[in-house]
Amino acid sequence: MLTQSPRMLRVFDQVRAVAATDATVLIRGETGTGKELVTRAIHKRSRRVDQPLISVNCGAFTETLLESELFGHEKGSFTGAAGRRQGVFEMADGGTLFLDELGETSLNVQVTLLRVLEEMQFRRVGGQEPVPVDVRIIAATNVQLENAVEEGRFRRDLYYRLNVFPILLPPLRERREDIPLLVRHFLTDVAEDYDLPPPTVTPPAMERILAYGWPGNVRQLRSLCERWVITAHGAPIGLEHLPQEMRGDRPGEEAMPAALAVDERAPLKEVLDRATAQIERSYLQRILHRHAGHLGQTAASAGITRRTLYTKMKEYELDAADYRR
């Protein structure tokens, strides 16, 4: 997992700290931010590393099927249950169970899950005997669980049970300093796979890449890099290689609003402060990039003193070295 973002480096510290324990972990982050990667990192560093890591996407099943997926079922317990089947709790025994998209589960399943987590034993669907298990739970969700709790779609008691060690993965647009690093990594990686020369990125293209909102986060960036390696065929990646929504007619105009997250539950002042900070940070990143990390030129073009620029860069955790070419 690559990063140079201070927020992500703190996440790495959390991963290291929690991996050494058996604590339940709740990972939150938008799609493509690395929830699965973090899960694997925790399992790999835990004492359970030689035991299975089993993942189940809770959002991909109907209620009945999810129960059977989680807890298994006895022969003939429901229509279509031909034989006895092991659930993921049983398969993960001794190891780690990753409950992905947990926010998507029905209230019924949530009740059962809570009981299983409290007692560390479960019953197969259609079974009588409680089966004891020893699993470490990592749950992931890309929804605002607190909202779901407030709206009655997610049980408060289960939320508290899971929220022992929360890890929040910031979206890519809030850690843009990772973008050049990831682009370089993915381009090199994919080029090697396809036995093609790794393409460079022209400065105007990189400017758009940096300014874009990246709703699909790292996964989206990775796919685009793959596409660029194939279409550029060794030539530098320019504006013409970027998808329409990244190009826009005027630089950045389009990407800005996508990058702004407005939280209507916060007081206006907080929303405005946050928006200002977001715009300021994004602006600084772009002019730093335009001036290749040259502080004098960057300050001059922003119409601020070097000292102010320096203070702001510290505040936003920006490093001129990341923009040198």
Map 56-80 to HEC letters.
EEHHHCCHHHHHHHHHCECCCCCCC
* Choice between 72 and 180, CB closer to ligand ATP: 180
Could you give the strand order of the β-sheet that contains 25-29, starting from the edge strand earlier in sequence?
53-57, 96-100, 136-141, 25-29, 165-169
Which of the stretches 33-41, 44-52, 127-135, 230-238 binds Mg ion when contact is defined by CB under 5 A?
33-41
Which residues ranging from 135 to 154 are in contact with ligand ATP (CB under 6 A)? 142
CA distance 177 to 32: 17
Q: Are 26 and 166 in contact (CB under 8 A)?
A: yes
Q: Is 3 in the site for ligand ATP (CB under 6 A)?
A: yes
The least distance separating ligand ATP from the CB of residue 306, rounded to whole angstroms, comes to 32
Q: Is 36 in the site for Mg ion (CB under 5 A)?
A: yes
Q: How far lies 182's CA from each of 96, 192, 203, 316, in Å? A: 28, 15, 16, 20
- Total binding residues for ligand ATP by CB under 6 A? 15
Which of the stretches 34-42, 141-149, 199-207, 317-325 binds Mg ion when contact is defined by CB under 5 A?
34-42
Q: Is 34 in the site for ligand ATP (CB under 6 A)?
A: yes
By CB under 6 A, name the one of 37, 65, 81, 320 that touches ligand ATP. 37
Could you say which of ligand ATP, Mg ion, none residue 3 binds, taking C-beta under 5 to 8 angstroms by partner kind?
Answer: ligand ATP
Which residues ranging from 191 to 230 are in contact with ligand ATP (CB under 6 A)? 218-219, 222
Q: Are 288 and 323 in contact (CB under 8 A)?
A: yes
The least distance separating Mg ion from the CB of residue 36, rounded to whole angstroms, comes to 4
* Choice between 60 and 235, CB closer to ligand ATP: 60
Q: Is 171 in the site for ligand ATP (CB under 6 A)?
A: no
Could you say which of Mg ion, ligand ATP, none residue 31 binds, taking C-beta under 5 to 8 angstroms by partner kind?
Answer: ligand ATP
Residue 115, classed as helix, strand or coil, is helix
Retrieve residue 38's tokens. 């973090």
- Per DSSP, helices labelled H in 163-305 are 178-193, 203-211, 217-232, 244-247, 255-259, 268-290, 295-302
CA distance 272 to 283: 16
Q: Are 321 and 181 in contact (CB under 8 A)?
A: no
Q: 97 phi and psi, to 5 degrees? A: -115, 120
* Choice between 35 and 176, CB closer to Mg ion: 35
| Residues engaged in binding ligand ATP (CB under 6 A) | 1-3, 29, 31-37, 142, 218-219, 222
| Residues engaged in binding Mg ion (CB under 5 A) | 35-36
